[in-house]
């Protein structure tokens, strides 16, 4: 059985994969900025999940050949 986090992560990745590559890259940059530890506080689990999900989508596209535009 999938956990709530796993279902949330899968749904988020599905939503992100429908966006353009530039939109996902922008989301990645924003999520990365929210997760930086230099701000003096730890990021929330939801912020880390968003960052990880955007990274996974970009990584899958890269592994399938030069980003989404190459698909």
Residue 2 has pLDDT above 90, yes or no: no
3-state secondary structure of 38: helix
11 domain-assigned: no
62 domain-assigned: yes
24 domain-assigned: yes
DSSP letters, 40-52, are: SSPPPHHHHHHHH
Counted domains in the chain: 1
10 domain-assigned: no
Sign of the C-alpha dihedral computed for residues 30, 53, 12 and 71 taken in this order: positive
Residue 57 has pLDDT above 60, yes or no: yes
Residue 53 has pLDDT above 70, yes or no: yes
Q: What is the reported pLDDT for 71?
A: 45
Q: Which domain holds residue 56?
A: 17-70
């Amino acid at each position: 059985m999938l956990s709530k986090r796993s279902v949330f992560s899968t749904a988020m990745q599905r939503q992100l994969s429908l966006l353009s590559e530039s939109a996902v890259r922008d989301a990645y940059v924003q999520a990365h900025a929210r997760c930086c530890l230099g701000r003096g506080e730890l990021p929330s689990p939801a912020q880390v999940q968003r960052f990880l999900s955007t990274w996974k989508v970009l990584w899958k596209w890269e592994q399938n050949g030069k980003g989404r535009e190459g698909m």
